[in-house]
Amino acid sequence: MLGPDRFAPRLHDVPHEELEAAGIRGLIIDLDNTLLGFRQTELEREHLEWVARARERGFRIAMLSNNFSERVNALAAQLNVSCFPNALKPLPFGFLRAKRCLRLRRREIAVVGDQLFTDVLGGKLCGLYTILTEPIELKDFPITRVFRFFERLMLRNRR
Ligand SMILES: [Mg+2]
C-alpha cells in the first residue's frame, strides 16, 4: 500500500512521453516541497516549463495541497491549473474531488508528491498511479518531520 509506482528527484525529471506511454492523461500535483520549497516564493523555471508543456500536450492538471494559504491559489493560478487546498491528504475526499475535476479514469491519473504518508498513501487509497519526488527542502513542519522518519524506514533500500 505504501510503495510508490515511481521515484523521481523532481517533477520535471519525469518525461511527458513516459507518462503518455503509461496511459496517464492527468496529474494531481502536491505544492509544498514538490513544486515549491518553504523558502521559495516563486516557482522554478523548470517546473513552470514542465507544467506548461504538459498542458500543451493535453494533460489535465490539478493542484492538491493540505496547505490553506492564499499562496496555493496564487500559484495554481500562475500555472493555470485547478486548485484544491485544505485537502486533508491522505484522506480520499480531496483526491476524489480533483479526479472529478479532471474527468478521467483512475488508471489515467498520476499523483505526484514528496510525502509517502500524504501524497502516495492517499493516491494509493484512491487507486491512482503514484510518483514520489524528493523534497525540495528538508525544513518541515514538526508533524512532517515525524512522517519523514517513518518514510526513511519504509524506503530504506528501495530508492
Ligand atoms: Mg508536499
134 CA to centre of ligand 1 in angstroms = 10
Which pLDDT tens digit goes with each residue over 102-135? 999 999 999 999 999 999 999 999 999 999 999 9
6-155 CATH: 3.40.50.1000
Residues 6+ apart with CB under 8 A from 117: 2, 90, 147, 150, 151
Q: What are the CA-CA distances from residue 25 to residues 8, 52, 56, 101, 145 (Å)? A: 18, 14, 12, 13, 32
21: CA distance to ligand 1 center in Å?
26
Residue 103 in grid coordinates: 474527468
Asked whether the predicted pLDDT for residue 27 surpasses 70, the reply is: yes
pTM of the model: 0.89
Evaluate if residue 138 carries a pLDDT over 80. Answer: no
pLDDT of residue 141: 66
Average pLDDT estimate for 137-155: 76
Query: CA-to-CA distance for 111 and 130, rounded, in angstroms?
Result: 5
CB 128 within 8 A of CB 94: no
d(CA 90, CA 117): 7
Percentage of the chain beyond pLDDT 90 is 77
Backbone angles phi, psi at 3, to 5 degrees: -85, 125
Q: With cut-offs at 50, 70 and 90, classify the pLDDT of residue 78.
A: very high
Q: Which residues surround ligand 1, an ion (CB under 5 A)?
A: 30, 32-34, 114
pLDDT surpasses 90 at 54: yes
Average pLDDT of the segment spanning 142-155 = 78
